[in-house]
Amino acid sequence: MNQHDSPSPIVIVDAINHYYSGAAVAALKNISLTITEGCCFGLLGPNGAGKTTLISLLTGIISPQKSVQTPQGRIQISGFDYPSGAAKIKAISGLVPQDYAFYPALTGRENLQFFAGLYKIATADVVARIDYCVAVCGLENVLDQRAATYSGGIKRRLNIALGLLHNPKILYLDEPTVGIDAQSRYFILQAIQQLKASGMTIVYTSHYMEEVEQICDEVAIIDHGEVLLQASMAALLQNERQLVITPAQPPLPEALALLQQVGVAVWDGEHLTLELGDGRTLSEVLVLAEGAGIVVNKMHFGSSSLEHIYLQATHRKLRQ
């Protein structure tokens, strides 16, 4: 297979544990996951699940040298290993924390200029980088106002602009749409789509399941410091216990009664949806459908919701 046929992982976390000083229980327990280059990766979990610890390790805020690692444990990002490649990893990583990370007494422009200096962005590139980040985040009309006067949504957008300033290869977004207005939420989600289209890898944590479903290509659910599952969004949402059939003719009542033998059968006037019982196979269902006089024009597996899958995995709501 040609190496360009499928995207390769940009983040590899392999068997990592982490203990905070004095803690009896590990914050991360044998964590392993991969993030595909160029994707938007959703990281979900209840409060205290280990999301922030994991992001802190990936961005170098917490040193992996403080982790208690199994012999094979490693973190590799864009081909660089911790700790030897820590400086290069930090240079290609952008972090947008949930807390505001700017100076409220400065204007938006002054904040961007100040952080451009901290990032050591070449003087010749500063104006272009600021203009790009301002355009992506929709800050043109407030750029010369003090950040303290911004609404919550505009402050979130400035946070993102600052995280983008040095043109990172990977952008980590921690709850970027919490408590903001609908317009700013729209701007932020559009910006994420735009950044993903440009080839940037996005790691996104959110309590809003519909947002994660909308923008993420892959998702991992973690709880109690462990990865409960990781999958592509398409695979995760496919419900193989639900079969949706488009028949050539509406099924007769007696046909529906027969199909109830394999699970719940619902006819909505166009589609016949079957919730398959445990132990029932697809071939068995199709044989029963044929025996009931149903001619299948089309069929596909149904879909589940991310919230339903999350609740099944963690046995609790996201805010708990």
Q: Say what the pLDDT of residue 67 is.
A: 44
Q: Could you tell me if 47 and 22 lie in one domain?
A: yes
Measure Cα distances from 122 to 138, 163, 167 in Å: 24, 17, 12
Across 212-245, b (16+ Cβ under 10 Å) vs e yields: bbebbbbbbbbbbbbbbebeebeebbebeebbbb
The reply to whether 182 falls in a domain is: yes
φ, ψ at 11 (rounded to 5°): -125, 130
The Cβ of residue 262 has, within 10 Å, a number of other Cβ atoms equal to: 20
Question: Is 281 part of a structural domain of the chain?
Answer: yes
Provide the pLDDT for residue 3.
46
Shared domain for 286 and 159, answered yes or no, is no
Query: Is residue 1 one of the residues assigned to a domain?
Result: no
In a domain, 132, yes or no: yes
Asked whether residue 311 is domain-assigned, the answer is no
Q: Same domain for 276 and 187?
A: no
d(CA 166, CA 274): 51
Q: Which residue has the higher pLDDT, 317 or 93?
A: 93
Q: Which of 235, 261, 282 is the last residue of a domain?
A: 235
pLDDT (mean) for 4-10: 76
Task: Look up residue 94 and give its DSSP letter.
Answer: E
CA distance 107 to 258: 69
Average pLDDT over residues 35-51: 92
- 45 and 20 fall within a common domain: yes
Query: Could you give the number of structural domains in the chain?
Result: 2
What is the predicted pLDDT for the residue at 6?
Answer: 67
What does the pLDDT average to over 129-136? 97
Q: Provide the 8-state DSSP code for 20.
A: -
87 CB burial (10 A radius; 0-12, 13-18, 19+): exposed
CA distance 180 to 188: 10
Residues 223 and 248 placed together within one structural domain of the fold: no
Q: Are residues 255 and 282 in the same domain?
A: yes
Q: Which CATH number belongs to the domain containing residue 16 in this structure?
A: 3.40.50.300
At 142-171, the pLDDT tens digits run 999 999 999 999 999 999 999 999 999 999
Report the pLDDT value the prediction gives residue 320, as an integer from 0 to 100.
Answer: 47
Q: Is residue 14 part of a domain?
A: yes
Asked if residue 219 lies in contact with residue 41, where contact means CB atoms within 8 angstroms, the answer is yes
Cα–Cα distance between 110 and 28 in angstroms, integer? 38
Query: Are 97 and 130 members of one domain?
Result: yes
Kindly report, residue by residue over 238-293, the tens digit of the pLDDT. Answer: 666 677 788 888 888 888 887 777 666 777 778 877 776 666 677 777 777 788 78
What pLDDT is attached to residue 295? 83
pTM of the prediction?
0.79
Q: Tell me if 59 is assigned to some domain.
A: yes
State the Cα–Cα distance between residues 245 and 272, nearest whole angstrom.
5
Token duo for residue 253 = 């009542």
Claim to verify: residue 150 and residue 16 sit in the same structural domain: yes
Q: Are residues 278 and 194 in the same domain?
A: no
Which of 194, 216, 235 is a domain's end point?
235
Whether residue 4 lies inside any domain: the answer is no
For residues 135 and 249, state if they share a domain. Answer: no
pLDDT of res. 317: 55
* Residues whose CB falls within 8 Å of the CB of residue 156, separated by 6 or more in sequence, listed in order: 176, 177, 180, 184, 188
Domain boundary among 235, 261, 278: 235
Confidence band of 174 (pLDDT split at 50, 70, 90): very high
Task: Note whether 126 and 213 are same-domain residues.
Answer: yes
Domain containing residue 277: CATH number: 3.30.70
Range of the domain at 143: 9-235
Q: Highest mean pLDDT range out of 23-27, 31-35, 56-60?
A: 31-35
DSSP 98-166: SS--S-TTSBHHHHHHHHHHHTT--HHHHHHHHHHHHHHHT-GGGTTSBGGGS-HHHHHHHHHHHHHTT
First to last CA, the chain: 45
24 with 43: CB under 8 angstroms?
Answer: no
Structure token digits, residue 19: 């203990």
pLDDT digits (tens, 9 = 90+) for 91-127: 999 999 989 999 999 999 999 999 999 999 999 999 9
At residue 101, what are phi and psi to the nearest 5 degrees? -125, 55
Q: Say if residue 69 is in the same domain as residue 109.
A: yes
